[in-house]
């Protein structure tokens, strides 16, 4: 078996690796490190959780031992799609670089420029950045990238999803052509392959753990639900309450707006819950994540982008409030549980509109996922099945009924805790939110691709911007007009 000593890493790095308690390199480390040390370009196909970060940080540290940083001229540059990932890579540099005296600058959005400027002024050996913030610094003339020897492009498929590729192309043009490039992606669809061909020169390809597999130790179940948000929320609450073995769990939503709404709803219903989404400032996100890691919060509602790549230790449960639109996201989400041979449970709420996405997931993972207690034919026809166009009066009635049902469910479930009055009140509060959500769930224009607009996207890492008032419609506009 290969050991870390066989990879060609420096003594300082080996010391830090031993202190981290790692005995053997992971496959991506074994495959990438020796080539990276020989200054070869790398095309690494690996997802988070495979030890991917150390596979580029360790050789970079070894290579950086020669030479020194100069003011405003960084020697290495790492691009990450989200602030959390960037912060995590910085932590890795601190951990593995504890025997080095390197200056690291973390250039991410959502925090002030001043301190970042000071770090650049002092001279940074390593820049860890989100693309938008890096370009902001470069455009302000605060940064010269002609000294960059190593460029890392991490999570390339996510960069593509988020519309960051034009930014990365611009950045790559500011860096000498003779650089070494280490390129990582969890998946390798043709567009990503094309990018890799553009950015890399004669790369060594290292591929580990195909992204289409879910751990055998995870019990996966589909849970049929009505389509309205309040149906799904009630179903989710029942599901969570039914879990005897729930230690901690992540609840995934497809949009950041749903994350915020679901979080507020669960909180009102008395769950021990936090949220992670792209609109939160950096400090709140970091605090939230720390609270979850330290078991101060049991449930975390998150979007894919906000949660992607986060180094969260094994969770017992994953709940998909929405069926993910990209099948690979299902694999990533499920990968949060059942790590290192431990058992885990993953539940996915499925509505009638989700069949197409569900088919794609089952095809990707080459397996049929079992239904928990009956498939979609068991879902009692609810408001979502009725034709919206059948008249506003009837529509209002139906919503009223749905809301009353939601309130009843809540009050009966919680009566045993002696909280009936309080919970009916809570349910009523939820009604207001669900009503505004229902009224505003208009389809967005198909071409509303926020990701192509760099300015808007720089500090924003998921979900389209709401149209008009979004779900935050003022209450006075929700009062029914008198005939």
Q: Choose which of 22, 188, 424, 450 interacts with ligand AMP (CB under 6 A).
A: 22
Q: Choose which of 7, 35, 50, 78 interacts with ligand AMP (CB under 6 A).
A: 50
What distances in angstroms separate CA 139 from CA 65, 134, 144, 145, 174, one per listed residue? 30, 9, 10, 12, 11
> Which is nearer to ligand AMP, 49 or 249 (by Cβ)?
49
Query: Does 25 engage in binding with ligand AMP (CB under 6 A)?
Result: yes
Q: Choose which of 53, 180, 320, 423 interacts with ligand AMP (CB under 6 A).
A: 53
Coil, strand or helix at 461? coil
Q: Does residue 35 contact residue 204 with C-beta atoms inside 8 Å?
A: yes
DSSP string, 231-277: HHHHHHHHHHHT-TT-S-EEEEESSHHHHHHHHHHHHHTT--EEEE-
- The least CB distance from residue 310 to ligand AMP, in Å, is 9
- The least CB distance from residue 44 to ligand AMP, in Å, is 11
Interface segment toward ligand AMP; rule CB under 6 A; list 50-58, 120-128, 298-306, 379-387: 50-58
- The least CB distance from residue 146 to ligand AMP, in Å, is 29
Query: Does 62 engage in binding with ligand AMP (CB under 6 A)?
Result: no
Q: Determine the Cα–Cα distance for residues 265 and 242; give it in Å rounded to an integer.
A: 18
Using a 10 angstrom Cβ sphere, with 0-12 exposed, 13-18 middle and 19 or more buried, the burial of residue 170 is middle
Query: Does 258 engage in binding with ligand AMP (CB under 6 A)?
Result: no
> How would you classify residue 368: left for phi > 0, otherwise alpha for psi between -120 and 50, otherwise beta?
beta
Query: Does 54 engage in binding with ligand AMP (CB under 6 A)?
Result: yes
- The least CB distance from residue 66 to ligand AMP, in Å, is 24
> Which is nearer to ligand AMP, 53 or 181 (by Cβ)?
53
- The least CB distance from residue 319 to ligand AMP, in Å, is 22
Helix axes 11-20, 83-96, angle to 10 degrees: 110
Query: Does 49 engage in binding with ligand AMP (CB under 6 A)?
Result: yes
- The least CB distance from residue 27 to ligand AMP, in Å, is 10
Query: Does 209 engage in binding with ligand AMP (CB under 6 A)?
Result: no
Phi, psi of 370 (to 5 degrees): -75, 150
> Which is nearer to ligand AMP, 155 or 161 (by Cβ)?
155
Q: Are strands 218-224 and 150-153 parallel, antiparallel or unpaired?
A: unpaired
Query: Does 91 engage in binding with ligand AMP (CB under 6 A)?
Result: no
Query: Does 337 engage in binding with ligand AMP (CB under 6 A)?
Result: no
> Which is nearer to ligand AMP, 3 or 291 (by Cβ)?
3
Query: Does 185 engage in binding with ligand AMP (CB under 6 A)?
Result: no
How many residues contact ligand AMP, by CB under 6 A?
A: 12
Coil, strand or helix at 199? helix
Query: Does 26 engage in binding with ligand AMP (CB under 6 A)?
Result: yes
Query: Does 113 engage in binding with ligand AMP (CB under 6 A)?
Result: no
Query: Does 403 engage in binding with ligand AMP (CB under 6 A)?
Result: no
> Which is nearer to ligand AMP, 125 or 154 (by Cβ)?
154
Using a 10 angstrom Cβ sphere, with 0-12 exposed, 13-18 middle and 19 or more buried, the burial of residue 339 is middle
Query: Does 336 engage in binding with ligand AMP (CB under 6 A)?
Result: no
> In sequence order, which residues have a C-beta less than 8 Å from that of residue 431 and are 6 or more positions away?
230, 403, 406, 407
What does the CA dihedral 436, 437, 443, 446 come to, rounded to 10 degrees?
A: 120
Query: Does 237 engage in binding with ligand AMP (CB under 6 A)?
Result: no
> Which is nearer to ligand AMP, 311 or 395 (by Cβ)?
311
Query: Does 81 engage in binding with ligand AMP (CB under 6 A)?
Result: no
List the alpha helices (DSSP H) in 3-161.
11-20, 27-37, 52-64, 83-96, 113-122, 131-139, 156-161
- The least CB distance from residue 130 to ligand AMP, in Å, is 17
Per-residue interface string for the shown chain with ligand AMP, residues 261-300, x marking contact by CB under 6 A: ----------------------------------------
What distances in angstroms separate CA 269 from CA 29, 175, 229, 253, 425, one per listed residue? 45, 52, 15, 18, 10
> Which is nearer to ligand AMP, 57 or 365 (by Cβ)?
57
Q: Determine the Cα–Cα distance for residues 265 and 406; give it in Å rounded to an integer.
A: 12
Query: Does 311 engage in binding with ligand AMP (CB under 6 A)?
Result: yes
> In sequence order, which residues have a C-beta less than 8 Å from that of residue 436 and are 6 or more positions away?
471, 472, 473, 478
- The least CB distance from residue 10 to ligand AMP, in Å, is 17
DSSP type of residue 477: G
> Which is nearer to ligand AMP, 25 or 344 (by Cβ)?
25
> Given the rule CB under 6 A, which residues bind ligand AMP?
22, 25-26, 29, 48-54, 311
């Amino acid at each position: 078996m290969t050991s870390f000593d066989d990879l060609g890493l420096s003594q300082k790095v080996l010391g830090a690796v031993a202190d981290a308690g790692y005995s053997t390199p992971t496959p991506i480390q074994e495959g990438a490190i020796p080539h990276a040390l020989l200054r070869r370009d790398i095309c690494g196909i690996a997802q988070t959780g495979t030890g991917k970060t150390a596979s580029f940080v360790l050789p970079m540290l070894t290579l950086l031992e020669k030479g020194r940083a100069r003011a405003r001229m960084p020697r290495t540059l790492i691009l990450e799609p989200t602030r959390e990932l960037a912060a995590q890579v910085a932590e890795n540099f601190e951990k593995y670089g504890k025997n080095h005296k390197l200056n690291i600058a973390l250039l991410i959005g959502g925090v002030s420029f001043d301190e970042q400027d000071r770090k650049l002024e002092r001279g940074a050996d390593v820049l860890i950045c989100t693309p938008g913030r890096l370009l902001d610094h470069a455009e302000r003339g605060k940064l010269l990238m002609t000294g960059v020897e190593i460029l890392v492009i991490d999570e390339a498929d996510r960069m593509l999803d988020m519309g960051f590729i034009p930014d990365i192309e611009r950045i790559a043009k500011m860096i000498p052509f003779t650089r070494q490039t280490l390129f990582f992606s969890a998946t390798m669809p043709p567009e990503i392959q094309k990018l890799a061909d553009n950015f890399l020169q004669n790369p060594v390809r290292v591929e580990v753990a195909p992204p289409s597999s879910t751990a055998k130790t995870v019990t996966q179940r589909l849970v049929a639900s009505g389509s309205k948000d309040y149906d799904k929320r009630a179903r989710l609450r029942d599901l969570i309450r039914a879990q005897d073995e729930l230690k901690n769990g992540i609840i995934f939503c497809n949009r950041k707006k749903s994350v915020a709404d679901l979080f507020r709803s669960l909180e009102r219903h008395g769950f021990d819950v936090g949220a992670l989404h792209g609109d939160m400032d950096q400090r709140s996100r970091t605090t939230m994540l720390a609270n979850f890691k330290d078991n101060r919060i049991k449930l975390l509602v998150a979007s894919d982008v906000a949660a992607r790549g986060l180094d969260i230790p094994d969770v017992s449960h994953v709940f998909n409030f929405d069926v993910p639109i990209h099948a690979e996201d299902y694999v990533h989400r499920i990968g949060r549980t059942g790590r290192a041979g431990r058992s885990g449970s993953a539940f996915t709420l499925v509505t009638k509109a989700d069949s197409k996405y569900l088919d794609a997931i089952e095809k990707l993972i080459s397996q049929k996922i079992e239904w928990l207690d009956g498939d979609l034919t068991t879902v009692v026809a609810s408001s979502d099945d009725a034709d919206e166009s059948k008249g506003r009066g009837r529509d209002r009635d139906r919503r009223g009924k749905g809301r009353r049902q939601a309130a009843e469910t809540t009050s009966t479930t919680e009566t045993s805790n002696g909280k009936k009055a309080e919970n009916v009140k809570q349910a009523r509060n939820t009604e207001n939110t669900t009503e505004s959500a229902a009224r505003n769930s208009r389809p967005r224009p198909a071409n509303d691709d926020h990701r192509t607009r760099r300015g808007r996207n720089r500090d924003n890492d998921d979900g389209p911007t709401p149209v008009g008032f979004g779900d935050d419609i003022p209450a006075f506009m929700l009062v029914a007009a008198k005939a």
